[in-house]
Amino acid sequence: MAIVVGLTVGLFLLLGFHLLGAGFRNPRWLIVAVCLLLALYKYGQNQLVSDIQDIGLIAVRSADCTGNQLQVVVANGRANNITGLSFFLRGFRPNYSEHVAFAAMETDRVVPAGQSWVSCWDIAALKEVPMAQRSTLRWEVEITAVEFAE
């Protein structure tokens, strides 16, 4: 969502600079626009960091899930309900820094304040990982967006 907002603001800025006569012959307005977009991006990143405080996300292999699934636990330690969540899952072989499995997930499941939610997620990239390695993968989870109830 932040990317869409950034691109929309950027297009409006470029239109405004075009109307002001700014361009590559007069680059100072373009430099100002780039600085504004970088500031907007930095603000969005700082906002995400403050939004994901007190939200726990853990991915583990579980006997409750089938072969190509991974169990994800979402713990909401905040005072308001989570109404949407997006995250990346990356699976790493032991002692390696390059991931062998990747998935981008999104849910609109409501997680009430102070509670947790457990679910199995289908990871398509696990089909390409040998069966013997699946149980040894180390999983990292990165929250990319979170929405709260008002």
Mean pLDDT of 94-107: 92
The per-residue pLDDT for 71 is 93
User: At CA 67, angle to CA 63 and CA 71, rounded to 5?
Assistant: 55
Place of tokens 């012959």: 25
Using a cut of 0.85, tell me whether the model's pTM lies above it. no
The per-residue pLDDT for 22 is 61
Mean pLDDT of 9-22: 73
Task: List where CATH 2.60.40 sits in the chain.
Answer: 55-148
| CATH class held by domain 55-148 | mainly beta
The per-residue pLDDT for 99 is 93
d(CA 45, CA 140): 19
Reported as a single tens digit per residue, the pLDDT across 18-76 is: 777 666 666 776 777 788 888 888 888 888 888 888 899 999 888 888 878 999 999 99
CB 116 within 8 A of CB 75: yes
| Averaged pLDDT of the chain | 85
